[in-house]
């Protein structure tokens, strides 16, 4: 563990916290002192979110995983929560029918449990320590707005309900559309807040968005020229004409991107002509979610599909477009990395094996991007490790997505360079055979010990202790050096006495 945010919270518990560190994959418990946290979510190998249990004072946080329990000193302080204070409302007035968004500014507003307009609760939309947005309920006259948190109830601020004038329409865009309806029409005007109905002639339209000066609605089917009107709690607007007309068939010319993951979810831009009022976009036989729609461009969220090539088509009131090909790419899988260890300074070449790697665009060692990406085959690539610490998961990103933990061993461990501090003894017989204790740091993964370039047999007892048997050597002083996957250590002198 390296840090927690925030570092303090309510003694009653329930404070959401984010814990940062490494080796969190498979974690089974998070404790604040002796007490178990709730709502624990392992976001990644380096991050956990949780809610604090009840407690008091300052306690140490621990995370328990398959390799044991963390020992770092990361602390959390339980403190009394201050009462909320309100300083401003924006706006400070609104329609008697409510429904408008009010921004409440102040301090100590975290974890608001209730916002009241007089005796009537409002719907809380967003909540930060200094700001809340809420949907005003219906009301009349001037009333007090208060906020309640675990720290108590705030001071009141005045909010005034005002009578709203009747709506007025000034423009429609577009002012015509297909007889089958289904296209989006933007209605511009004044006093449009709280629209309860939009009529195209006698037929209701579906309201999509509503602000004081603009409404977007889905036009219903119809023929000829009809009058569009808007109704709010204040009355019905003037009418503006809308004409139903024949629509040409859509044509699509390009897709961007032309491929994506089998899980779908990526945004695809479709360019063409006569795309207004698209009612359906198909990837093969599967509908996509339409995000935006103009006469020359549609953006959609691609649906899921198996690894394959499918036809994308657009349907409007004018018919079905020509098809364009879209490729579903299987997600990459990382099975192993070689070597699995390297220096914390990075810079070494690592070979990554797996499947579906041919279209790799990025390799990450934990959160850090690698450089020097070279694709060798669909099953193998190489990359230059970035600097890092601890044990991280190596991931590969392609148009099919980013690899996730699965079969194999996609872990890479960063090692600090080995250091020798002392040799005990630092002299011995030129015949060899003397046992030499090596004290230092980062010795766990030692793979060779040399005395003046001559290999010695050795045993590693801990990360700070190794024991080597001095090989035979001519009398004189030589350098003793260790090597690990992180590189060579410094050298210390060892003196061979004549036999």
pLDDT at 316: 84
Domain boundary among 118, 134, 162: 162
- The pair phi, psi for residue 190, each rounded to 5°, is -135, 155
Q: Is the pLDDT of residue 201 over 90?
A: yes
The residue-averaged pLDDT of 231-254 equals 86
Angle at 145 between CA 190 and CA 120, to 5 degrees: 85
pLDDT at 81: 72
Q: How confident is the model at residue 456 (pLDDT cuts 50, 70, 90)?
A: very high
What tens digit of pLDDT does each residue of 124-159 get? 999 999 999 999 999 999 999 999 886 778 999 999
365-369: long-range contacts, CB 8 A cutoff, minimum separation 24: 365/392, 365/394, 365/412, 366/22, 366/45, 366/46, 366/390, 366/392, 366/393, 367/46, 367/392, 368/392
pLDDT at 227: 95
Task: Report in angstroms the alpha-carbon separations of 264 from 3, 257, 261, 313, 397.
Answer: 35, 12, 5, 16, 15
Mean pLDDT of the chain: 92
pLDDT at 199: 95
Provide the domain count of the chain. Answer: 6
Domain boundary among 53, 78, 103: 78
| Tokens of residue 197, six digits | 């109905």
Q: Is the pLDDT of residue 69 over 80?
A: yes
pLDDT at 162: 79
CB 301 within 8 A of CB 265: yes
Same domain, yes or no: 321 and 265? yes
What tens digit of pLDDT does each residue of 316-348 get? 877 789 999 999 999 999 999 999 999 999 999
pLDDT at 62: 96
* Contact partners, residue 484, CB within 8 Å, separation at least 6: 341, 415, 417, 418, 442, 443, 444, 445, 446, 447
Same domain, yes or no: 67 and 128? no
Q: Is the pLDDT of residue 233 over 80?
A: no
Distance between CA atoms of residues 361 and 260, nearest Å = 13
Same domain, yes or no: 437 and 409? no
Same domain, yes or no: 214 and 264? no
pTM of the predicted model as reported, rounded to 2 decimal places: 0.44
Percent of the chain past pLDDT 90, that is, above it, reads 77
Same domain, yes or no: 90 and 71? no
Q: Is the pLDDT of residue 231 over 90?
A: no
Percent of the chain past pLDDT 70, that is, above it, reads 99
294 alpha-carbon distance from chain centroid: 29
Q: What is the DSSP letter of 409?
A: B
Task: Write out the residue range of the structural domain in which residue 315 sits.
Answer: 251-329
Same domain, yes or no: 343 and 407? yes
Residue with tokens 């599967």: 286
| Tokens of residue 174, six digits | 């577009």
Domain boundary among 78, 111, 139: 78
Same domain, yes or no: 492 and 424? yes
pLDDT at 106: 96
Q: Is the pLDDT of residue 386 over 80?
A: yes
| CA-based nearest residue to 373, from 478, 381, 365 | 381
Q: Would you list the DSSP string of 110-139?
A: TT--EEEETTEEPEEEEE-SSEEEEEPPP-
pLDDT at 390: 93
Which CATH number is 215's domain given?
Answer: 2.60.40.10
Q: How confident is the model at residue 196 (pLDDT cuts 50, 70, 90)?
A: confident
Same domain, yes or no: 373 and 402? yes
Same domain, yes or no: 91 and 157? yes
Q: How confident is the model at residue 226 (pLDDT cuts 50, 70, 90)?
A: very high
């Amino acid at each position: 563990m390296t840090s927690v945010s925030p570092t303090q919270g309510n003694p009653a518990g329930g404070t959401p916290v984010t814990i940062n560190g490494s080796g969190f994959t498979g974690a089974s418990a998070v404790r604040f002192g002796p007490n178990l946290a709730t709502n624990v979510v392992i976001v990644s190998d380096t991050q956990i979110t949780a809610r604090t249990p009840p407690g008091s004072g300052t306690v140490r946080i621990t995370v328990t995983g398959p390799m044991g329990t963390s020992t770092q000193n990361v602390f959390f302080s339980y403190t009394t929560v201050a009462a909320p204070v309100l300083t401003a409302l924006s706006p400070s007035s609104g329609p008697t029918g409510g429904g408008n968004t009010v921004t409440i500014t102040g301090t100590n507003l975290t974890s608001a449990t209730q916002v009241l307009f007089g005796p009537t609760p409002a719907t809380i939309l967003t909540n930060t320590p200094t700001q809340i947005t809420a949907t005003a309920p219906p009301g009349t006259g001037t009333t007090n707005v208060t906020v309640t948190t675990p720290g108590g109830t705030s001071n009141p601020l005045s909010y005034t309900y005002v009578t709203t004038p009747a709506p007025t329409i000034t423009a429609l865009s577009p002012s015509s559309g297909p007889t089958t309806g289904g296209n989006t029409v933007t209605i511009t005007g004044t006093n449009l807040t709280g629209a309860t109905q939009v009529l195209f002639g006698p037929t209701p339209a579906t309201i999509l968005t509503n602000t004081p000066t603009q409404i977007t609605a889905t036009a219903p089917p119809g023929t000829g020229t009809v009058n569009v009107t808007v109704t709010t709690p204040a009355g019905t607007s003037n009418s503006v004409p809308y004409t139903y007309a024949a629509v040409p068939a859509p044509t699509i010319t390009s897709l961007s991107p032309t491929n994506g993951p089998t899980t779908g979810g990526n945004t695809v831009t479709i360019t063409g002509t006569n795309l207004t009022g698209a009612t359906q976009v198909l990837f093969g036989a599967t509908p996509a979610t339409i995000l935006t729609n103009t006469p020359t461009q549609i953006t959609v969220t691609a649906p899921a599909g198996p690894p394959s090539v499918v036809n994308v088509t657009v349907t409007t009131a004018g018919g079905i477009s020509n098809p364009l090909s879209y490729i579903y790419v299987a997600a990459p899988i990382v099975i192993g990395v070689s070597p699995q260890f390297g220096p914390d300074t990075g810079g070494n070449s690592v070979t990554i094996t797996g499947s579906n790697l041919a279209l790799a665009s990025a390799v990450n060692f934990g959160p850090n991007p690698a450089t020097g990406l070279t694709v060798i085959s669909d099953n193998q690539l190489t990359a230059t490790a970035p600097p890092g610490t601890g044990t991280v998961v190596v991931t590969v990103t392609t148009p099919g997505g980013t690899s996730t933990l699965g079969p194999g061993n996609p872990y890479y461990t960063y090692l600090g360079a080995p250091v020798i501090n002392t040799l005990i003894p630092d002299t011995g017989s030129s015949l060899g055979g003397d046992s030499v204790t090596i004290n230092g740091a980062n010795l766990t993964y030692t793979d060779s010990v040399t005395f003046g370039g001559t290999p010695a047999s050795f045993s590693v007892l801990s990360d700070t202790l190794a024991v080597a048997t001095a090989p035979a050597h001519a009398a004189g002083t030589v350098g003793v050096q260790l090597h690990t996957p992180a590189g060579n250590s410094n050298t210390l002198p060892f003196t061979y006495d004549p036999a």
